[in-house]
């Protein structure tokens, strides 16, 4: 079996699993630990090590972070501690996980989008697709015929005077106590803005709340087709595991 280990660092939880790279399926159970507060580089890396040790994994590891990542350097910090900015993630994780390990680091939404292309929704493979993850924030991946334009940050685009993710993430739904209908109206406004600027052929929505797409999807009014991700919130882990063996990290 061709396997790798993927870890998805999120604002509320850090999740990891062994992934079968031929099928995209998890091998065994997913392990989740709450994201430390504050989510500093050292604290997150220590939690990642804890997950790897729980899994008894000694092979390659792919890690996603909610950040712009170029050359393994972290250049932004969305929903993690600002001390991540300027961090050499390659050095950080090698120091915690072992210098001899093969490790790759990439943006979380980019990983999820690539996983959806490989193992998820068939429509992700063709045309201009904007993949969005709605969670603690809003992550984005731009895909053109299945190829990635990395490190887009649509969640920080200003919509109606504020960042889109402050209004339309699933965390915002919880924070403001919104019904699915009221929250969907906020998502819809963000999608209208993205539609006007980028003219995609398709929006694919990932993250845990995509499991409830039937509750809020019907309230969307954008002309572009919007569908839930096939892989739901498993995509980040799968994409991370893919990256470390297929050299897809930017």
Q: Catalogue all structural domains in the chain, each as residue range(s) with its CATH number.
A: 3-109+234-246 (3.30.420.40), 123-229 (3.30.420.40)
Residue 91 dihedral angles phi and psi, to the nearest 5°: -65, -45
Residue 246 — very low, low, confident or very high, per pLDDT cuts 50/70/90?
low
Q: Which of 115, 67, 63 is nearest to 91 (CA)?
A: 63
The pLDDT of residue 165 is: 96
Q: Stretch 14-39: mean pLDDT, rounded?
A: 97
Report whether pLDDT(248) > 60. Answer: no
Report whether pLDDT(40) > 50. Answer: yes
Token code pair at residue 62: 């792919």
Q: Which of 10, 62, 58, 68 is nearest to 34 (CA)?
A: 10
Q: Which of 4, 16, 3, 40 is nearest to 236 (CA)?
A: 16
Sign of the dihedral defined by the CA atoms of residues 66, 120, 102, 47, in that order: positive
The pLDDT of residue 250 is: 45
Sign of the dihedral defined by the CA atoms of residues 211, 24, 138, 225, in that order: negative
Rounded-to-integer distance, Cα 160 and Cα 182, Å: 16
The pLDDT of residue 242 is: 96
Q: Which of 207, 170, 175, 209 is nearest to 190 (CA)?
A: 170
SS3 (DSSP) at 169: coil
**Tokens 């685009």 sit at which residue?**
157
pTM of the model as a whole: 0.93
Task: Please report how many Cα atoms fall inside a 13 Å half-sphere around the Cα of residue 227, on the Cβ side.
Answer: 14
The pLDDT of residue 244 is: 86
Residue 25 dihedral angles phi and psi, to the nearest 5°: -90, 150
Average pLDDT, the chain: 95
């Amino acid at each position: 079996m061709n396997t790798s280990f993927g870890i998805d660092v999120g604002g509320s939880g850090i999740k990891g699993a062994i992934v079968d790279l031929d099928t995209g399926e998890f091998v065994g159970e997913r392990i989740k630990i709450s994201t430390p507060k504050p989510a500093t580089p050292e604290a997150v890396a220590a939690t990642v090590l804890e997950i790897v040790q729980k899994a008894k994994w000694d092979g390659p590891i792919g890690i996603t972070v909610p950040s712009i990542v170029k050359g393994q350097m972290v250049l932004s910090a969305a929903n993690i501690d600002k001390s991540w900015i300027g961090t050499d993630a390659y050095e950080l994780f090698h120091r915690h996980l072992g210098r001899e390990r093969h490790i790759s680091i990439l943006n979380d939404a980019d990983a999820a989008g690539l996983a959806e292309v490989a193992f998820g929704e068939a429509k992700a493979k063709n045309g201009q697709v904007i993949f969005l993850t709605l969670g603690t924030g809003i992550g984005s991946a731009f895909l053109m015929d299945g190829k990635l334009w990395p490190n887009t940050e649509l969640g920080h685009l200003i919509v109606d005077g504020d960042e889109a993710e402050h209004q339309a993430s699933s965390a915002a739904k919880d924070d403001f106590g919104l019904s699915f209908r009221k929250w969907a109206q906020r998502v819809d406004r963000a999608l209208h803005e993205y539609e006007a600027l980028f003219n995609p052929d398709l929006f694919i929505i990932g993250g845990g709340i995509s499991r409830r797409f039937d509750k809020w999807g019907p309230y969307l009014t954008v002309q572009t087709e919007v569908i839930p991700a096939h892989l739901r919130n498993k995509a980040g882990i799968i994409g991370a595991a893919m990256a470390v063996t297929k050299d897809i990290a930017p």
